[in-house]
Amino acid sequence: MTRQPGRKNRGDGVPGGFFGLSIGAILEGYRSGALDPVEVARRCIGQVEALDGRVAAWACFDPEQLLDQARASAGRIREGAPPRPLEGIPVGVKDIMNTADFPTQMGSPIWKGFTPGNDARAVFSLRQAGAVIPGKTVTAEFAVHTTGRTVNPHDPSRTPGTSSSGSAAAVACGMVPAALGTQTAGSIVRPASFCGVYGCKPSFGLIPRTGMLKTTDSLDTVGFFTLHLADLPRVLDVLRVHGPNYPRSDRALRDPRRQELPRGRPWRVSLVKTHTWDGAHPYARRSLRAWVDRLAGDGDVVVDEPDLPAGMERAHEVHATIYNKTLSYYFREEFRRGELVSPIMKDLIRAGLEIPVDRYQVALRDQERMARSMDRFLGDREILVSLATAGEAPPREEAERPDPALMWTMTHLPVVCAPAFASPRGLPFGVQVVARRYSDLLLLRFLGHLRSLDLIPEAAFPAIPLTESR
């Protein structure tokens, strides 16, 4: 069934947190004097203290350090310093990214207590923009597939998603308005879908990967989660690379032919079912079909339903070859010494060790061909839409059904998962909105159009069942 996204302020009745406060609203509060960074930090602390004992979104959280950062932000504001785009905004950091003042443990007991002494580039960008860092969010062992401590805020018996689940759950509970994540297969899209928040996986390479765990060179992508749709452009602009030192992305992002819809022309949108369609729950297929029918009723949108380029049906097979082989390379010493904990990680590495180098190289060439074919495919349309996941979050002990998320990771496309739907049980799941590589700004503009049609909400699906009001 489709959510009713038009209801204003989805967080009404949810105590504390950031459900009713977008980043833009917080910054406006600073300008007017109605808010200050210390009050905002205390709001974050209060929500973590109220809910994290049940949700377990944080690997480490330091309220005093957060308050120290907030006081420094408040001082800048009092002194009339130039405003920064994330001044005094608490942002969670996935615990595979280096932080100078918190441990970086990567979900592994091998690295318990390890402090690298520097910041990942994405964390550095946040700090330069004025963000305050409360701590690190839980991830799976080395950001792979094992379900971590975090529970789904809507139903603790169900999975919160894959390795970025701590960040998604922290946002879903209103603990922070935004949090960093990464995606190598579906680790932003799936947690966003299952936890009912906005998840953004930008074009491959648009946010630097310096100073963080590496698992797969041609797939690892940095992204983020937000509570509010309006905050996606601001956070992306802070995190992404800028300027002529990055000529390919800079050229594309400054090109109005890539980032703006020509005046007078409707949006060209394709519904792509993909080879995973038949494995999705019937209610999920019905929900997306009804959503697309509503979209097609808008005079400013033309919808078609084309076949994907030949070979895209092999995406999951090719991805597994690349992923397993690179895991067996990067974690061969931990595997040899028997230090890895999760059976899933060990099984993936065993599978990777069986893959010959020439087969891995063929898979890389297959990935490059898929990326080129999808770039040509999206050259004839602005947007494609697909299910984000096969439906609601499955029980924790069950495997997730295949979904299209890794297909767009494989082909380096920008994606936003929007919390558009609710299952018959009332649990969230999302729609995946995709654009051509480096057409990230065009994608965000289309999301604004979807919001104007009331097809996506202004704020996330609030995690009411675990709040104090229940």
Q: What is the pLDDT of residues 43-58, one digit of tens each?
A: 999 999 999 999 999 9
Q: What is the pLDDT of residue 16?
A: 62
Contacts of 458 (CB under 8 A, 6+ apart): 5, 8, 9, 10, 228, 229, 230, 451
- The domain defined by 23-314+360-466 folds into Amidase signature (AS) enzymes (3.90.1300)
Q: What is the pLDDT of residue 397?
A: 87
Say yes or no to pLDDT of 464 above 60: no
- Collapsing DSSP to helix, strand or coil, 442 comes out as helix
CB-CB neighbours of 63 under 10 Å: 16
Q: What is the DSSP string of 382-405?
A: SEEEEESSSSSPPBTTSPPPP-SH
Give yes or no for a contact between 409 and 184, defined as CB atoms under 8 angstroms apart. yes
Q: Where are the domains of the chain?
A: 23-314+360-466
Q: Write the single-letter amino acid at 423.
A: S
| Annotated catalytic residue 163 | yes
Q: What is the DSSP letter of 234?
A: H
Beta pairing, strands 91-94 & 135-137: parallel
Q: What is the pLDDT of residues 301-335, one digit of tens each?
A: 999 999 999 999 999 999 999 999 999 999 998 88
Say yes or no to pLDDT of 10 above 70: no
Q: What is the DSSP letter of 461?
A: -
Catalytically annotated residue among 73, 125, 165, 187:
187
Q: What is the pLDDT of residues 392-405, one digit of tens each?
A: 999 998 989 999 99
CA–CA dist 169, 407 (Å, integer): 24
The answer to whether the pTM exceeds 0.85 is yes
Q: What is the pLDDT of residue 381?
A: 95
Q: What is the pLDDT of residue 463?
A: 61
CA–CA dist 17, 75 (Å, integer): 23
Catalytically annotated residue among 163, 164, 193, 249:
163
Q: What is the pLDDT of residues 417-430, one digit of tens each?
A: 999 999 999 999 99
Q: Mean pLDDT for the chain? A: 93
Over residues 255-267, mean pLDDT: 95
Say yes or no to pLDDT of 39 above 60: yes
pLDDT confidence of 8, banded at 50, 70, 90?
A: very low
Half-sphere exposure of 161 (CA within 13 A, CB side): 40
Please give the structure tokens belonging to residue 201.
Answer: 């996986």
| Annotated catalytic residue 187 | yes
Catalytically annotated residue among 22, 73, 94, 165:
94
| Annotated catalytic residue 386 | no
Over residues 365-383, mean pLDDT: 97
Q: What is the pLDDT of residues 143-181, one digit of tens each?
A: 887 878 999 999 999 999 989 999 999 999 999 999 999
